[in-house]
Amino acid sequence: MAVVEETPARLAATPSWLLTQLAVHAHRLSSDGFGEVGARGYHFRILAALDEFGVASQAELGRRCNMDRSDVVAAINELAEQGLVERTPDPNDRRRNMVTLTTAGDRQLRRMGRALDKVQDELLRPLPAEDRQTLTRLLTQLLTHHQGG
């Protein structure tokens, strides 16, 4: 990897620098992969949350997907325009919208999942399966710790 070779060793040997550089690359790969199926990362977050947890308010989706309220609204607007989610007023609180995954949304989520699988394979290509599992476990452990879990 040329970037690491051209970077001062004191910097290139720090996990924080390596994680940041890899995160930029991973984001680019993910964006390109989702773009190939006409979607964005925010779309995947929302569709995956609806698939896993069921009908949710926009506020719940924002918390579950770690998204800003305005980004949630914009993404749900895009998904609703494409018929991938349905937004209806909450019968218990008319000020709140409830969001439901549609059949078309489920199909799109599966396409996006396949695209994301290809991205993971590309990103982790140099690592054998056991190392991929170890890396995922360690990253999960670090993220859980730093999120207060």
Torsion angle of C-alpha atoms 76, 82, 87, 88, degrees rounded to 10 = 160
Q: What domain count does the chain have?
A: 1
4 domain-assigned: no
Supply the pTM of this predicted model: 0.88
Q: How far apart are CA 52 and CA 66, in angstroms?
A: 15
- At 148 the pLDDT is 81
Here the CATH number for the domain that contains residue 135 is 1.10.10.10
19 domain-assigned: no
84 domain-assigned: yes
125 domain-assigned: yes
The one-digit pLDDT tens for each residue of the chain (149 residues) are 456 678 899 999 999 999 999 999 999 999 999 999 999 999 999 999 999 999 999 999 999 999 999 999 999 999 999 999 999 998 888 888 999 999 999 999 999 999 999 999 999 999 999 999 999 999 999 999 998 86
15 domain-assigned: no
DSSP string, 45-100: HHHHHHHHH-SEEHHHHHHHHT--HHHHHHHHHHHHHTTSEEEEEETTEEEEEEEE
7 domain-assigned: no
Q: State which residues form the domain around 59.
A: 32-146
79 domain-assigned: yes
66 domain-assigned: yes
